[in-house]
Amino acid sequence: NAGVTQTPKFQVLKTGQSMTLQCAQDMNHNSMYWYRQDPGMGLRLIYYSASEGTTDKGEVPNGYNVSRLNKREFSLRLESAAPSQTSVYFCASSDGQGLDEKLFFGSGTQLSVL
């Protein structure tokens, strides 16, 4: 099993450009998440999708949009990238049963905005 797959692994953008980070999971999980990781800040939740057809804001949603395309795929879009969005982005999934949610992570996307 591939688990959680993220693309691309690396990306460099100029300020104002847009891009979409893709995430897919093959574990039949209901819930999916997008986190960003910055030095000294740990992981912060951007958006999550508890189940297909629903999305909710996390701790730091400003400047981002998400789409839960189907049960497998959850994409993160930066409409107009800013240097403050330079970060490592992680997608994760869980079975979504509510209790004892254990997350399975992708390998991350390192994004630089110049």
Contact residues for another protein (CB under 8 A)? Answer: 4, 31, 33, 35, 40-45, 48, 50, 58-59, 90, 92, 96, 98-108
| Residue 15: CB minimum distance to another protein, A | 26
**Separation between Cα atoms, residue 108 and residue 64, nearest integer Å:** 17
| Nearer CB in complex with another protein: 10/28 | 10
Residue with structure tokens 């039949």?
Answer: 28
Which among 70, 98, 82, 87 has a CA at the least distance from the CA of 35?
87
C-beta neighbour count of 44 within 10 angstroms: 14
Shortest separation between residue 85's beta carbon and another protein, angstroms: 19
Q: From the CB of 1, what's the least distance to another protein, in Å?
A: 15
